[in-house]
Structure 1
Amino acid sequence: MIGLVLAAGAGRRLRPLTDKLPKALVPIVPGVTVLDLTLANYAAVGITEIAIVVGYAAGTVEARVKDFETQYGVRLELVHNDKGEIWNNAYSLWCARDHLRYGVLLANGDTVHPASVQQALLDAREDDRRIILALDTEKPLADEEMKVICSDATGVERITKQLDPATATGEYIGLTLIEPAAAADLTSALEQTWQRDPHLYYEDAYQLLIDQGFRIDTVSVGRTDWVEIDNHADLARARAIVQRRPTTR
Structure 2
Amino acid sequence: MIGLVLAAGAGRRLRPYTDTLPKALVPVDGDKTVLDLTLANFAEVGLTEVAIVVGYRKEAVYARKAELEATYGLTLTLIDNDKAEEWNNAYSLWCARDVIKRGVILANGDTVHPVSVEKTLLDARGKGQKIILALDTEKVLADEEMKVITEEGKGVQRITKLMDPATATGEYIGVTLIEAEAAEELADALKTTFERDPDLYYEDGYQELVNRGFTVDVAPIGTVTWVEIDNHDDLKKGREIACQY
Q: Please report how far the alpha carbon of residue 29 of structure 1 lies from its aligned counterpart in structure 2 after TM superposition.
A: 2.3
SS at match of 1:18: helix
Aligned pairs for 1:217-228 (under 5 A) are 217-228=217-228
CA distance in 2, matches of 1:127, 1:225: 27
Residues 1:124 and 2:135 aligned together: no
Residue 139 of structure 1 corresponds to 139
Residue 81 of structure 1 corresponds to 81
Residue 210 of structure 1 corresponds to 210
Q: Aligned partner of 1:83: which letter?
A: K
Aligned pairs for 1:150-169 (under 5 A) are 150-169=150-169
Aligned pairs for 1:98-113 (under 5 A) are 98-113=98-113
SS at match of 2:52: strand
RMSD of aligned Cα (Å): 0.7
SS at match of 1:83: coil
Q: Deviations over 1:30-79 (max 9, x none)?
A: 21100000000000000110000000000000000000000000000000
SS at match of 2:183: helix
Q: Aligned partner of 2:147: which letter?
A: K
Q: Aligned partner of 2:128: which letter?
A: D
Residues 1:33 and 2:33 aligned together: yes
CA distance in 2, matches of 1:147, 1:127: 24
Q: Please report how far the alpha carbon of residue 163 of structure 1 lies from its aligned counterpart in structure 2 after TM superposition.
A: 1.0
CA distance in 2, matches of 1:15, 1:61: 18
Q: Deviations over 1:175-209 (max 9, x none)?
A: 00000110110000000001111100000010010
CA distance in 2, matches of 1:33, 1:242: 9
Q: Deviations over 1:11-30 (max 9, x none)?
A: 00000110010000001122
CA distance in 1, matches of 2:242, 2:29: 8
Detail structure 1 runs of 4+ shifted over 3 Å in the superposition. Answer: none
Residues 1:193 and 2:193 aligned together: yes
CA distance in 2, matches of 1:5, 1:85: 17
Q: Deviations over 1:106-145 (max 9, x none)?
A: 0000000001100100110124100000000000000000
Q: Aligned partner of 2:48: which letter?
A: T
CA distance in 2, matches of 1:29, 1:122: 26
CA distance in 1, matches of 2:234, 2:212: 35
Aligned pairs for 1:169-188 (under 5 A) are 169-188=169-188
Residue 92 of structure 1 corresponds to 92
% identity of equivalent residues: 64
SS at match of 2:46: coil
TM-score for both structures, normalised by structure 2 = 0.99
Residues 1:16 and 2:16 aligned together: yes
CA distance in 1, matches of 2:17, 2:71: 24
Q: What runs of 5+ residues in structure 2 fail to find an aligned partner?
A: none
Q: Deviations over 1:207-235 (max 9, x none)?
A: 01001100000000011010000000000
Q: What runs of 5+ residues in structure 1 fail to find an aligned partner?
A: none
CA distance in 2, matches of 1:127, 1:148: 21
CA distance in 2, matches of 1:163, 1:136: 16
CA distance in 2, matches of 1:81, 1:72: 24
